[in-house]
Amino acid sequence: MKIFTGTQIHELDKYTIENEPIASIDLMERAARALTHAITDIWSNRTPVVVFAGPGNNGGDALAVARMLSELGYHIRIYLFNVHGRLSEDCAVNKQRIIDSKRIKDFIEVEQEFEPPTLNKDDLVIDGLFGSGLNKPLAGGFASLVKYINASAAKVVSIDIPSGLMTEDNTYNIKANILHADVTLTLQQNKLSFLFAENQQYIGKTKILDIRLSSEGINMMDSQYSMLEENDVREILKPRNAFSHKGDMGNALLIAGSYGMAGAAVLATQACMRAGAGKVTIHTPKKNNDIMQISVPEAIVDLDQEETYFSETIDSDKFDAMGIGPGLGLSENTAIALIGQIRRTHAPIVIDADGLNILSSHRAWLEQLPQGIIMTPHPKELERLTNVHNIEGYERLSRARDLAEHLQSYIILKGHISALCLPDGRVLFNSTGNAGMATAGSGDVLTGIITGLLARGYKQKEACILGIYIHGLAGDLAAKELGEESLISSDIIKYLPNAFKKLND
């Protein structure tokens, strides 16, 4: 599913109007019917409704919804803000329809002074102040109104996007001036800003409403951002040949686990096996030998010369993929061995965890990484890699995109909604996963999965797409059975077979 910018959304509306064809006021009516249906699914007509409508088309949507709710027996109070004496054409039409309605008695057009109504816990506020066209922080009276609504006990449903939140970049927004919605009914598609963790406090529960914007226009319009869907993943699955043997299924190398961090090596190795690799070798310090032999008897254990840390490069010519970094430690000897191993490895490489932290401490080495390398940082690891700290949301994603383009690499920015940044600047967001996966070792599992997929013969982009999707799907299946609260990383591995089976079925 493509994710469009605010400008592109406006262009898509225009394309639909011109090519369906449909009058813009009729398209607004179509959207209002979808919004009304979604609201009535949640709140009965015994719920008192207060509508705050702005002067643009978002306000027009709100006025149309108010009219439709009134026809269904809802008690409606409407405040239309027209402080500059300028309404959009469709908002003005819906204003007149409100005036002509015999059902709506409480309608106030605010042109100067405004006395806010009392909002009780039983009230439902419909937020139609500002939509996806907003490009600067709210100020003045509108900011005060947002703060007033936020301080109330009323439930809030926002039309398309919470007022004050911008569609993409909120880096310089004023957080106190953004409405906190309980439910956001967004039109046609997710907005980019909805995919960032720090904005979840504003959007509440999100429901995407299909208002039948032109499918032709959607297909024609290019987008730098997309959300992965199940069909995207099914298309890249490789079937197993009935006569294949383990040699055909790929030979994976993992370099992981300093002494005391053998668990990271265990999780990565188990996940690599479950991802379908025919053979997996784990290179790890001598003191991890017994743990590895017992925990993953299917794997080959290759021991480092050192007792407690990774210290030497090994011949990687026979391997089809390499994953390096989980639990590796940060000693200088390990750092030198890591860059040496990367230089001599010609197979596709995944770097995670301490591998990334070592590169952050030796930034000149980033320029020596081979094109097509896969890195899987969480937000703090990305900050260290880019040497830019205390960033979030759009700015963080932009840094990851820039790094992927500069290094011609694949950057998986991990989170509840992980983002795969491609070498060409495009970004694919994952649609699977849940809060229960915020647990130690989850990243090690992802490293093992992607390394196993690379060994199986998937190209880097395919392995990243399938890897993040199947990782999240296994977590979702585990959470469905076990709940999110007690989910641990080994549960994700246990449910990998179910996740693959679901996709194959």
Residue 248's pLDDT is what?
86
- What pLDDT, in 10s, does the model give residues 314-333? 999 999 999 999 999 999 99
Q: What is the mean pLDDT of the chain?
A: 97
pTM reported for the whole predicted model: 0.95
pLDDT per residue over 331-364, tens digit each?
Answer: 999 999 999 999 999 999 999 999 999 999 999 9
Pairing of β 410-413 and β 300-303: unpaired
180: closest CA among 147, 150, 135?
150
- Is it the case that residue 245 has pLDDT exceeding 90? no
Query: Whole-angstrom Cα distance, residue 419 to residue 172?
Result: 22
Which of 161, 217, 164 lies closest to 192 in space, CA to CA?
161
Reference 80, options 115, 118, 51, 49; nearest CA is 51
| 94 in Cβ contact with 35 (< 8 Å) | no
How far apart are alpha carbons 422 and 457 in whole angstroms?
19
Ramachandran angles phi, psi of 203, nearest 5°: -90, -20
Mean pLDDT of 25-45: 98
Query: What pLDDT shows up at residue 241?
Result: 87
Task: List, for residues 74-116, the tens digit of each pLDDT value.
Answer: 999 999 999 999 999 999 999 999 999 989 999 999 998 899 9
Q: Tell me which residue of 420, 427, 505 sits closest to 469, measured CA to CA.
A: 420
pLDDT band at 244 (very low <50, low <70, confident <90, very high): confident
List domains and CATH numbers for the chain: 2-227 (3.40.50.10260), 242-504 (3.40.1190.20)
Q: Is 347 helix (H, G, I), strand (E, B) or coil?
A: coil
Section 152-179 average pLDDT = 97
DSSP annotation string for 270-320 = HHHHHTT-SEEEEEE-GGGHHHHHHH-TTSEEEE-SSSSS-------TT-S
Say if CB 274 and CB 447 are below 8 A apart.
Answer: no
HSE toward the beta carbon, residue 404, CA cutoff 13 A: 26
| 180-206 average pLDDT score | 97
Res. 403: pLDDT tops 90 = yes
Q: How confident is the model at residue 119 (pLDDT cuts 50, 70, 90)?
A: very high
Task: Provide φ and ψ at 282, rounded to 5°.
Answer: -110, 120
Q: What tens digit of pLDDT does each residue of 253-296 get? A: 999 999 999 999 999 999 999 999 999 999 999 999 999 999 99
Indicate if the pLDDT at residue 477 is higher than 90.
Answer: yes
- CA 55, chain centre distance (Å): 32
pLDDT of 422 higher than 90: yes
Where do we find the tokens 């100020």? Answer: 139
